[in-house]
Amino acid sequence: MKNYLDFEREVKTLEEELEKLKDPFNKEGISEVDTKKINIIQNEIDQKLKTSYLNLNHWQKTQVARHEERPKAKFFIKNLFSDFINLSGDRHFSEDEAVIAGFAKFNNRSVLVIGQEKGDDLDSRLKRNFGMMRPEGYRKCVRLMKLANKFNIPIISFIDTPGAYPGIGAEQRGQAEAIASSIECCMSLTVPIISVIIGEGGSGGAIALASANKVLMLENSIYSVISPEGCAAILWRDPSKSLEAAKAMKITAHELLKMGIIDNIIEEPTGGAHRHKEEVVSTTKKTIEDYLIEFERFSKEEIFNQRKQKFLNIGKEKRFPSFIGSESDLIKKNKLFSYLSSKITDNKMKIILISLLALTYFFIKMLP
């Protein structure tokens, strides 16, 4: 049974009608299939999906990113890699089922694969803890990343988590330290790391494995420091303001690409990745392959420096024009203050006039 989102109600009605038309058996027995009407309805479905998915708001994109039929890490690992060997345990406490990690072959090249896995049904979701990793999961990843670095093996990670698990046991076992250690490990490696956000990239739970040379996002995935509901609950004490929160946080792939937080967007077919899983896998494979080939020309030191510089550059060129204005404006204001100061001999008068000018400017800027 298919699952439909709120904005797909019309599509649901049309697809149900389409299924009835495709069924040659009805109340009167065997009947002739009306292929002409089937084609008309199929075209109408395609058009409605195209219109809907071209105009998704921030909250609707969040819903698509969380769709339960969306391809998970396990699906990507199965269809992108061969000879996958699953490795378990952090050598300190236990195994964490929320993350799948191991060595595999990608186009006959050895790679380390890490995937945050939410699960496909209720039993697997409970087993995987809905993709929320515990400290032992991050420590397992650190152990394997250091091993990959030792043998010069590239790392590919698939990010899909609402965030790190916030339970008491996880906190007692050092959740924050485990996340910090994972980020530190990623930043210190000399092998290329490619991270693909396939659904939700939530908080430190995501950044712990996405501190990579290249961060890619599926078109309808999200990446944020907190969930929209969590942000709305904190700012407005009202989780129903999730759309406003999602807009304010700029969680979509296109917004994050503009800010330089991610490096590339992997386009999804009309209707989302959950409707065309094979196409998404094919596009993802091509993108990863291109980046791995690109990093073959880099030395270890260049790979390390590229990653370091990438994160140092985030936000570096951004200013706050509503508060400080452009650089030329600042120069003009400084010249004005210097000129006025040179014309006034009394020190007390200087201070008073400059203060008045500064306050006047501030109040003018505050006017709507």
Q: pLDDT tens, 336-359?
A: 556 655 655 556 565 666 666 666
Phi and psi torsions of 352, nearest 5°: -65, -50
Stronger pLDDT, 321 or 276, i.e. the higher one = 276
Stronger pLDDT, 1 or 282, i.e. the higher one = 282
Q: Is 87 exposed, middle or buried (0-12, 13-18, 19+ CB in 10 A)?
A: middle
Enter the tokens of residue 224: 């944020």
Over residues 176-194, the mean pLDDT reads 96
- Give the per-residue pLDDT at 323: 42
95's CB contacts (< 8 A; 6+ apart) are 88, 89, 136, 140
- Give the per-residue pLDDT at 99: 96
Predicted confidence band of residue 136 (pLDDT cuts 50, 70, 90): very high
pLDDT score of 301 more than 90: yes
- Give the per-residue pLDDT at 324: 46
Question: Lowest mean pLDDT: which of 81-85, 132-136, 234-238, 335-339?
Answer: 335-339
Neighbouring C-beta atoms of residue 354, cutoff 10 Å: 15
Write out the DSSP string of 319-365: --HHHH--HHHHHHHHHHHHHHHHH---HHHHHHHHHHHHHHHHHHH
pLDDT score of 27 more than 80: no
- Give the per-residue pLDDT at 307: 95
State the Cα angle at 223 between 257 and 258, rounded to 5°.
15
Over residues 146-170, the mean pLDDT reads 95
- Give the per-residue pLDDT at 114: 97
- Give the per-residue pLDDT at 35: 77
CA distance 99 to 73: 9
CA distances from 64 to 10, 220, 297 (A): 16, 6, 37
Percent of the chain with pLDDT over 70: 82
Q: Which helix (H) or strand (E) holds 158?
A: strand 155-161
pLDDT score of 314 more than 90: no
Over residues 27-38, the mean pLDDT reads 65
- Give the per-residue pLDDT at 361: 62
Report the length, in residues, of the chain.
368
Percent of the chain with pLDDT over 90: 59
Identify the DSSP state of 28: T
- Give the per-residue pLDDT at 343: 56
pLDDT score of 95 more than 70: yes
